[in-house]
Amino acid sequence: MTRSAKPGALLRERVEHQHARVAYVELFFDLVFVFAITQISHTLLEHFSALGLAQAAFLLGAVWWVWIYTSWVTNWLDPEQAPVRLMLFVLMLFGLVLSCSVPEAFGSNGLAFAGAYVAIQLGRSLFTMASLKNASPANYRNFQRITIWLAVSALFWIAGGLCEGNLRFGLWIVALGIEYAGPALGFQVFGLGRSQTTDWNVEGGHLAERCALFIIIALGESILITGATAAKLPVTGVNVTAFLNSFVSSVAMWWIYFHIGAERGSQLIAHASDPGRIARIAYTYLHVLLVAGIILVAVGDELVIAHPLGHTDAKTAIAVAAGPAFYLLGNLLFKRVTAGWFPLSHLVGLGLLALLTLVSAVLPPLAFSLAATAILIVVAAWEAISLRPKEI
């Protein structure tokens, strides 16, 4: 059964039991976020401290929120139609400003970062609300609520951009906290009620594919960073080993997510009676942990490639151990939602990483990183042996 958009509406057409494809313009839109992820990684490398980690985590949360909200919107609106394409191009322009502002978001570019962020969030929401008004009454009301929440958070974004130092960070934490709380609270608004996940008539296969593609983007950014660093170094046994270790860790991370989990999650949400609930938990919230893990692994790989021997300092130990830990934790929670159980391989992997941190002081960076990669390989192999694609 096909659901066609009303005349003049911008909704995607949906065909029952068929997966809406990801449009080329959506992939083009994603290119801005390749740059954004790279900017966050480089910023963390240059400011690796407790504050730097907190700020990088915050910036990732903001970038992810811009991207995932847009993915929800293109799940409903048809990106093949000219007005939606133009909207995405405008968002790309502001996204480029946002990405360029990342290194100095807590410095001289604070207002530019906040302004671009607010322009994307509010502009997209207003466009979507207008597009849904006569085509999808329930979702129109949903975007009325979303727009109000984003307007409230915008006040804190702009105020933070006008301030400096800890006050800026504090105001921005409030702003992003409001936005992250919105879906969990159903965007409750006095007089307008709250949204139900059953109102979010999401096409599950499309959203699952979009999130899987973002994981590919993050993994690709990891390979770009390590490749660029390795290219500047002489060809020695140690450097080649560090380079191969970085590549193998990326392959292991790909396997852990894509061998079973990604396709199983896609099938579950595509056939769920309430796909909006799964999309909110498994994809909107949990996938940011996977991206955080990949970024930290990339930072750790670059530190190890640059200084493979000698003493493992604190920042290298944190990046090398915390990256795989965040990635495994994200996969663990994602698979708990989509499969119904906590995968034992991931629990064992997290336990082994915890034990590995105890010996970071006595291992050189390369040996420490090789051990972390070995743990990822064990988890990936465990998944490959215990679960096969036909079992999903």
What CA–CA distance (Å, rounded) separates 64 from 292? 10
Under 8 Å between Cβ of 347 and 300: no
Which residues have CB under 8 Å from 39's CB, separation 6+? 99, 100, 102, 103
* Sign (positive or negative) of CA dihedral 167, 171, 174, 179: negative
Categorize the per-residue pLDDT at 202 as very low, low, confident or very high, splitting at 50, 70 and 90.
confident
Higher pLDDT, 121 or 11: 121
The whole-angstrom distance between residue 173's C-alpha and the CA centroid of its chain comes to 18
Examine the pLDDT at 4 and tell me if it is beyond 80: no
pLDDT value at residue 1? 30
Categorize the per-residue pLDDT at 390 as very low, low, confident or very high, splitting at 50, 70 and 90.
low
Q: What is the mean pLDDT of residues 344-358?
A: 96
Could you report the per-residue pLDDT of 261-303, keeping only the tens digit for each? 888 998 888 888 888 899 999 999 999 999 999 999 999 999 9
- Residue 313 CB neighbour total at 10 angstroms: 14
- At residue 15, the 3 state secondary structure works out as strand
pLDDT value at residue 12? 84
The whole-angstrom distance between residue 60's C-alpha and the CA centroid of its chain comes to 8
Judge if pTM exceeds 0.75. yes
Categorize the per-residue pLDDT at 379 as very low, low, confident or very high, splitting at 50, 70 and 90.
very high
* Residue whose token pair is 């919107």: 73
Q: Between the CA of residue 250 and those of 216, 219, 293, 298, 301, what are the distances in Å?
A: 10, 7, 11, 9, 10
Q: Between the CA of residue 223 and those of 1, 35, 39, 46, 108, what are the distances in Å?
A: 43, 13, 14, 19, 30
Rg of the chain over all Cα atoms, to the nearest angstrom: 21
Tokens of 164: 């400096």
